[in-house]
Amino acid sequence: MSDHPTMPPEDDDMLAAEVALGLVEGEARDAARARMLQDRAFARRVADWQERFVAMTDDIAPVNAPARSRKALMARLFPARRAPLMQRLWVWQGISFAALATVAFLAVPLLQEPTEPAPGEVYATRMAAEDSALELLAVMDMSRGDIALRRVSGAAPEGRVLELWAILPERAPISLGVLPDGDVSRVALPADLAAEAAQITLAITDEPPGGAPGGQATGSVMAIGAVAEL
Amino acid sequence: MEWPLNSDREEIERLIAQVAMGDRAAFETLYDRVSAKLFGVSLRVLDTRAAAEDAMQDTFVKIWNNADRYQANGLSPMTWLITIARNTAIDRLRATRKGHQDIDAPGLELAAPGPNPEQSAVAASEATRLTGCLDGLEADRGAAIRGAYLEGASYADLAERFNVPLNTMRTWLRRGLMSLRECMSI
Average pLDDT over every residue of A162-179: 89
Asked if the C-beta of B23 comes within 8 angstroms of chain A's C-beta atoms, the answer is no
Average pLDDT over every residue of A196-225: 88
Q: What is the mean pLDDT of chain B?
A: 83
Q: Comparing C-alpha atoms, which of A132, A123, A29 is closest to residue A82? A: A123
pLDDT at B171: 92
Going B166 to B169 to B175 to B177, the CA torsion angle's sign is negative
**Which tens digit of pLDDT belongs to each residue from A103-127?**
544 555 555 544 444 456 778 888 8
**CA B21 to chain CA mean position, Å:** 24
CA distance A19 to A119: 47
Output phi, psi for A158, to 5 deg. Answer: -50, 130
pLDDT at A94 over 70: no
**Which tens digit of pLDDT belongs to each residue from A59-75?**
899 999 999 999 999 98
pLDDT at A37: 81
Beta bridge partners of A185: A149
Q: How many CB atoms are located within 10 Å of the residue B151 CB?
A: 14
Q: pTM score, two decimals?
A: 0.62
pLDDT at B106: 45
Residues 64 through 103 of chain B touching chain A, CB cutoff 8 Å: 64, 73-76, 78-79, 82-83, 86-87, 90, 101, 103
Beta bridge partners of A136: A127, A151
Shortest CA gap B65–chain A (Å): 10
pLDDT at A93 over 60: no
Using a CB-CB distance cutoff of 8 angstroms, which residues of chain A are in contact with residue B141?
none
Contact criterion met (CB below 8 Å) for B46 and B55: yes
pLDDT at B136 over 50: yes
Residues 30 through 69 of chain B touching chain A, CB cutoff 8 Å: 31, 35-37, 39-41, 43-44, 53, 56-57, 60-61, 64
